[in-house]
Amino acid sequence: MKIAIIASPNIPVPPDQYGGIERIIDMLIQKLIKKGHDITLFAHPDSKVSCNLIPYQESKTYTFTDFIKINLLTLKCRKFDLVHTFGRMNNIALLMPRNTVKIVSYQLPPTVSQVKKAVLLAKKKSLYFSACSQYIANQINSFSDVTTIYNGVDSNEYQFSPVTDDSAPLVFLGRIQSDKGTHIAIEVAKRTKNKLIIAGNIPNEQLHIDYFNLQVKPHLDNQDITYIGPVNNKEKNILLGNAKAFLMPVMWDEPFGIVMTEALACGTPVIGFKRGAIPEVVINGYNGFVCDDVDEMVTAINKINNIRRGNCRKILEEKFSATVIADQYERLYKRALKIG
């Protein structure tokens, strides 16, 4: 198949540090190329991929000029068998009434009005949707065909750690901001008398800087509660592999949370709140615990030795590995193109 993949132009593919969607796109491209498909990526000019790259950019405010300029560029995709976009649906508006098969992947909650509008504009049986979780799919499936294809990681890039000792720390890895629940991870660690390592970036906005200074920094002692800043892939592997458990105390409905699969790939159980897609990734009592509140999270920490780390890696390979994800996208492509 000759496939055009469109990424948002804000971050290169793959990203230098954080950029979950861009990592998924890079992983998918690599697997599709190995399957023999001809891939062209529309993305940030600094992207470094093993396929044909068509660079493009948009302004921070996304003007009407951007809309016209980018649509004239993506109109070239009509020459492909299929167009798969992870970016703005507006950027393929001129393709909507054409026969070209289009797949729109949602990694964040959709704007329902845009979905409805796209369905009305699109040529019949030319537009399909995918969602990174059933939680997201449920917001679309009343209006259009949508397939749930989870995010994940290439398991070959993560080393499985079958055991950890009782002194192993808990880990929080993610953006340091209120809705990610960093302060809750600190509370859980203190109440269970576990060490906690916090890793991730502090977004450069005053709201998040104030949150760090007021609710995180006062608890840091570089002994029991430690903040190590952003981590690269190698550091992440070591950090998660040596963790007793990975904490996901999110205060919002997380659409997926790729970091959970990174932890599972290392054999590390995930303990998270019952928000968004977390119950779809974590099977309670098997590869971690799904909790309603902080008290349940504290109880879960005290039962963490009941989780077999092999279960964590097993479910990663069965549901969230790069191979599984690429196979599922390929099946969706063939179904949309009525192949096989």
The pLDDT-based confidence of 30 (bands split at 50, 70, 90) is very high
Q: Which residue(s) pair with 289 in the sheet? A: 271
Q: Is the pLDDT of residue 118 over 70?
A: yes
The CATH code for residues 155-319 is: 3.40.50.2000
Q: What is the pLDDT of residues 121-157, one digit of tens each?
A: 999 999 999 999 999 999 999 988 899 999 999 999 9
Q: Is the pLDDT of residue 80 over 80?
A: yes
The CATH code for residues 2-152+321-337 is: 3.40.50.2000
CA 151 – CA 270 distance, rounded (Å): 16
Q: Which residues make Cβ contacts (< 8 Å) with residue 60, sequence separation at least 6?
A: none
Of 264 and 142, more confident: 264
Q: Taking the domains of the chain in order of start, what are their residue ranges? A: 2-152+321-337, 155-319
In the chain, count H helices and then E strands.
12, 13
* Structure-block tokens of residue 243: 């963790």
Q: Is the pLDDT of residue 99 over 70?
A: yes
Q: Which H helix or E strand runs over 182?
A: helix 182-192
Under DSSP, the state recorded for 53 is E
pLDDT at position 20: 86
Q: Is the pLDDT of residue 14 over 80?
A: yes
The pLDDT-based confidence of 340 (bands split at 50, 70, 90) is low
CA 281 – CA 163 distance, rounded (Å): 21
Q: Is the pLDDT of residue 338 over 70?
A: yes
Largest CA distance in the chain: 61
* Structure-block tokens of residue 117: 């509008």
Nearest C-alpha neighbor of 268 from the set 308, 298, 231, 322: 308
Mean pLDDT of all residues in the chain?
Answer: 95
Query: Are the folds of 2-152+321-337 and 155-319 the same?
Result: yes
Q: Is the pLDDT of residue 269 over 70?
A: yes
- Rounded to an integer, the average pLDDT of 171-192 is 97
- Burial class for 209, CB neighbours closer than 10 Å (0-12, 13-18, 19+): middle
- Rounded to an integer, the average pLDDT of 253-274 is 97
pLDDT at position 17: 67
pLDDT at position 13: 94
**How far, in whole angstroms, is CA 241 from its chain's centroid?**
19
Give the rounded percent of residues in the chain with a pLDDT score beyond 70.
99
Q: Which H helix or E strand runs over 292?
A: none
The pLDDT-based confidence of 160 (bands split at 50, 70, 90) is very high
Q: Which residues make Cβ contacts (< 8 Å) with residue 322, sequence separation at least 6?
A: 27, 28, 30, 31, 152, 153, 154, 155
The pLDDT-based confidence of 264 (bands split at 50, 70, 90) is very high
- Rounded to an integer, the average pLDDT of 197-222 is 96
pLDDT at position 326: 97
Measured over the CA atoms of residue 330, residue 331, residue 334 and residue 339, the dihedral's sign is positive
pLDDT at position 259: 95
